[in-house]
Structure 1
Amino acid sequence: MNKEKVREEIIALRKGANVAYVGSVNREGFPQIKGMLVLESESMKVQYFSTNTGSRRVAQFRANPKACVYYVDDTKDKYKGALFTGTIEVCTDHETKAMLWRDGFEIYYPKGVDDPGYCVYRFTAQSVNYYHGLANMTLQIEEVE
């Protein structure tokens, strides 16, 4: 696999995704996966997701910030996947929450952007493993930016 082509495919896969699979580690050390809507990113390195402060994954990330985010294109004859590995910070500050806030969120968070039940994950990637065509390549995140 050509590194520059892989880089371009990772970027296209990430930017075209509507859903990402976010992985955490539970208290017993087992991996946990959850599909989440893709809403915002600063870059390939920093990606954001919104959730409820009472969710079990918030507690998991506060105890162990190690995480992964997986993007996949599983359309027929086109299977591609990019597994980003890094850490998640649970953000409850107004600025970060406001940046990710969308119309309609008030259904879940009636007090608005400052609802104490609303928080944001800030995922910071260290590396990404790309899989396509029975081959894979791991890049440091700086190689993808």
Structure 2
Amino acid sequence: MAEQVAVTHDVIKLLDKIKEVKYATLTTLDAQGRLHGRPMYTCEPGNEGALWFFTEKDAQKISEIKANNQVGLGYSDPDAATYVTIAGTATVVEEKEKIKELWREDFRGFFPKGTDDPNIALLRVDIENGEYWDAPSNLFVRAFAYAKAITTGQKHQPTPDEQAKVQA
């Protein structure tokens, strides 16, 4: 029998899982309809259920997003045994105030002219849904799961704190 996964509408819990994980894999569809992923730095998990990234206006991902704005994001923190996937809608944002608000000086390596770089833009991903997994990383929890499997033949069933699907 397939396991039952808890469903929640708490997008904040999803954002909380990734607040310390700064790098994500952003996946788009290329012109041939194939998945195309690349690492992206998450500037800010927005309180409005959106994630923000800096990008170049002429980047391949921008043309891919203009053709199909459905994107996927993957976050992982192996040390904390936390894994998150997010599906959302991407929008290119060129508002100078927002660019200045999210700007960090270490981005200058990618945008030498800073916030005045004519090729700078933001990518906003509005979260539609996601899922997270907090694998039991505690030795005691793993030992308990092992003992349960040996004695009862049943596998560990994650609690809603360990795994849940999130619907925005």
Where 1:113 maps in the other structure, the secondary structure is: helix
1:43 lines up with 2:47 in the alignment:
yes
Where 1:27 maps in the other structure, the secondary structure is: coil
Q: Distance in 2 between matches of 1:33 and 1:96?
A: 25
User: Unpaired segments of 5 or more residues in structure 1?
Assistant: none
Q: Which amino acid aligns with 1:40?
A: E
User: Unpaired segments of 5 or more residues in structure 2?
Assistant: 136-156
- Deviation (angstroms), 1:67: 0.6
Aligned residue pairs total 138
Match of 2:64 among 39, 51, 60: 60
Q: Deviations over 1:3-53 (max 9, x none)?
A: 67x978634421111211111111111111111112212227211001112
Specify which structure has the higher proportion of strand. Answer: 1
Task: Tell me the C-alpha RMSD between the 2 structures.
Answer: 2.5
1:85 lines up with 2:83 in the alignment:
no
Match of 1:127 among 129, 135, 160: 129
Corresponding residue for 2:164?
137
Corresponding residue for 1:101?
103
Q: Distance in 2 between matches of 1:106 and 1:8?
A: 30
Corresponding residue for 1:110?
112
Q: Percentage identity across aligned positions?
A: 20
- Deviation (angstroms), 1:119: 1.0
Corresponding residue for 2:153?
none
- What TM-score do the two structures reach when normalised by structure 2? 0.70
- What TM-score do the two structures reach when normalised by structure 1? 0.80
